[in-house]
Amino acid sequence: MTTKKVALVTGAGQGIGRGIALKLAQDGFDIGIADIPAQEQKGEAVAAEIAALGRSAVFVPTDVSSRSDVEAAVEQTASRLGGFDVIVNNAGIAQVKPLLEVTEHDLETVFSVNVNSVIFGIQAAVRKFDELGVKGRIVNAASIAAIRGFPILGAYSASKFAVRGITQVAAQELAPKGHTVNAYAPGIVGTGMWDLIDAEMHKINGKPLGKNLQDNVEGIALGRIETPEDVAGVVSFLAGDNAVYVTGQVIIVDGGMLYN
């Protein structure tokens, strides 16, 4: 990469988002790290790791379910780092419940964090790309649950199917401006999210803690749990020069669970 580039990664205080932020920094990007205020310490720690790689990083406290917060995160990243080229709409939450028990509040919560945020991120990023005359890259967090509905992850699966739909629509609407829009669909990644899923599944099916995770990992062809770095490699591709002709795609990165 010859010129300085800037990427904003949401939910980058930990887990997959942290892995993506570090990988894009290694690729030469300066990084905006957006996460909720309660994650400030972790976000600042990621910023310090990026500084140690010789790149600049800023933590921007953001609730991605708030449109004005997302707009402010894009503004702050662009003004403090001096550009804006990529947004990774990564932040998301899981919810483990049989469909018959899902409440109105559950739906509002999961959709506002997993779906509304992606639309807000696209809108704010495109405004900034256009203002700066940049052909930007938008990368969204889908999931294997965006390809196949998973029992007791009903609201979550619905939200990730929505991300896939938004990715396809945005790719077509934004192609005339030269922006690309893609998504990554991880499988079973060992993060805080799976700690929660395993604990909730334990309450539902009584399997010992850790067993639900283990059972799911046993179904992976490559025979091991996924790491944030496995996901980050695909995001690096989608954000980089080699993906210039890729748009509207959801790239499955699951070690061999689903096949398309």
DSSP letter at 257 equals S
CB 62 within 8 A of CB 70: yes
- In angstroms, the CA 50 to CA 39 distance is 17
Verify whether residue 156 is a known catalytic residue.
Answer: yes
Q: Which of residues 132-161 bind ligand NAD (CB under 6 A)?
A: 141, 143
The answer to the question of residue 11 lying near ligand NAD (CB under 6 A) is yes
The answer to the question of residue 93 lying near ligand NAD (CB under 6 A) is yes
Residues in binding contact with ligand NAD, number by CB under 6 A: 28
Contacts of 97 (CB under 8 A, 6+ apart): 106, 152, 154, 155, 200
Contacts of 43 (CB under 8 A, 6+ apart): 12, 13, 33, 35, 59, 61
Per-residue three-class SS string for 171-211: HHHHHHHCCEEEEEEECCECCHHHHHHHHHHHHHHCCCCCH
Which one is catalytic: 156, 184, 245, 259?
156
Question: 19 or 134, CB closer to ligand NAD?
Answer: 19
Element holding 14 (H helix, E strand): none
Pick from 66, 65, 87, 80: nearest CA to 7? 87
The answer to the question of residue 91 lying near ligand NAD (CB under 6 A) is yes
The answer to the question of residue 92 lying near ligand NAD (CB under 6 A) is yes
Residues annotated within the binding site are 14-16, 35, 63-64, 90, 156, 160, 186-191
Q: Which of residues 44-83 bind ligand NAD (CB under 6 A)?
A: 62-65
The answer to the question of residue 186 lying near ligand NAD (CB under 6 A) is yes
Question: 63 or 200, CB closer to ligand NAD?
Answer: 63
Question: 34 or 126, CB closer to ligand NAD?
Answer: 34
The answer to the question of residue 22 lying near ligand NAD (CB under 6 A) is no
Pick from 192, 169, 182, 176: nearest CA to 252? 182
Q: How far is the CB of 188 from ligand NAD (least distance, A)?
A: 5
Any alpha helices (H) in the chain, and if so which ranges?
15-26, 40-52, 67-81, 104-111, 117-132, 154-174, 192-205, 211-218, 228-239
Question: 35 or 85, CB closer to ligand NAD?
Answer: 35
Residues annotated within the binding site for NAD(+) are 14-16, 35, 63-64, 90, 156, 160, 186-191
Q: Which residue has the tokens 């904003």?
A: 8
Binding piece for ligand NAD, criterion CB under 6 A, among 32-40, 76-84, 131-139, 216-224: 32-40
Q: Which residues are catalytic?
A: 156
Positions that interact with ligand NAD (CB under 6 A): 10-11, 13-17, 35-36, 39, 62-65, 90-93, 113, 141, 143, 186, 188-189, 191-194
